[in-house]
Amino acid sequence: MMENNDPTKSLNEGGVFEEKEVIIGYKPDLEIVVIPQVIRRETMAVIEVAVNLNRKDGATDVKEELTVEGSEKLNNCLLKLLKEGDVQGFNALKGKIKERFPDFTPRFPNLCLARADLSRADLSGLDLSLANLNRSILHGACFFGTHLNRASLISADLSEANMNEANLDKANLTWANLTGAMLRGADLSWARLCGAKMSGVKMVGANLTFANLACVDLSGVSLYEVNLAHADLSRADVSNACLKGSNIEGVNLTNVTGVTSEQLSEAKNLVKIKVNTRELRELVERAIDLSAEKAKKSIELLGDK
């Protein structure tokens, strides 16, 4: 490996700089080729030097190529930082990699980080499908656009987390703390949210079809334009929750509390709704009468009480 304390000199002479299995080349045709095996944070400064040299000489196309092996090494490097709980290092390295290789997506399927403290970690855009994050502390973490389908987040602290546009299809969020979390446009279809804390959650346009929200306190929560088709809201508290524009076709309202006819009338697709008391059935019928849709009264009474 070449020893060089002045990478600028080496690059100016058309050579290459090699450090810790990183090869950075400065070519006469004004292209830069970076073949990272392991990129460490201190090496990023060297890459910056090479890029600036190329641009200074009038290069219009600065090319950086990431090999398959390099992708695997970068993935492992990021994974190591995560497992060590080095959130600052992980965020810094991930940000630099994103700048250089915008098409690179770190993939950590089946990752086990149960009980880890990853508060404010930038986990946006990652593949965390099937990950085990049970009881992890993820306060303020960013999961924007992250793949968390079938992930297990039982009793995880996701308070104030940014989960906008995340894929949480079939994820298990039982007893998770989602206080103040952002879930705008997130896919929570078939997700399990039984007993989750959802005070102050923001989930405009989220997809909760077939989601299990049994026993969840949704009082005061805005469910504006949320797709709740066939969701289970049994024993949930929806006092003062906003249902305007939400799709409640086939929703399960057995033993729900705090619901009003006026509330339901602002929703859409008031059909095939499941209730378990005559009082709830009459309440839904009044909502349909108040609704602009004037839908056919199709209500399933589960048990005649």
Residue 179 lies in a domain: no
Residue 6 lies in a domain: yes
Strand pairing partners for 273?
A: 299
pTM: 0.76
Q: Which domain holds residue 7?
A: 1-106
Residue 73 lies in a domain: yes
What is the C-alpha separation between 273 and 6, in angstroms, rounded? 72
Residue 255 lies in a domain: no
From residue 48, give the alpha-carbon distance in Å to each of 22, 32, 131, 147, 193. Answer: 13, 11, 34, 31, 45
Tell me how many degrees the CA angle 243-184-137 measures, rounded to the nearest 5.
Answer: 115
Pairing state between β 22-26 and 273-275: unpaired
Please provide the distance, in angstroms rounded to a whole number, between the alpha carbons at the two ends of the chain: 81
pLDDT at 246: 97
179 burial (CB, 10 Å; 0-12 / 13-18 / 19+) is middle
Which pLDDT tens digits describe the chain residue by residue (305 residues)?
444 455 444 444 444 444 443 434 433 333 333 434 334 444 455 555 555 555 555 544 445 566 777 778 788 888 988 998 999 889 988 888 888 788 888 999 899 999 999 999 999 999 999 999 999 999 999 999 999 999 999 999 999 999 999 999 999 999 999 999 999 999 999 999 999 999 999 999 999 999 999 999 999 999 999 999 999 999 999 999 999 999 999 999 999 999 999 999 999 999 999 999 999 999 999 999 998 765 555 666 665 44
Q: Quick one: DSSP state of residue 14? A: T
Residue 76 lies in a domain: yes
121 burial (CB, 10 Å; 0-12 / 13-18 / 19+) is buried
Residue 16 lies in a domain: yes
> What is the identity of the amino acid at 119?
S
Residue 14 lies in a domain: yes
Residue 31 lies in a domain: yes
**Residues, the chain:** 305
Domain count, the chain: 1
Q: What are phi and psi of 36, to 5 degrees?
A: -80, 130
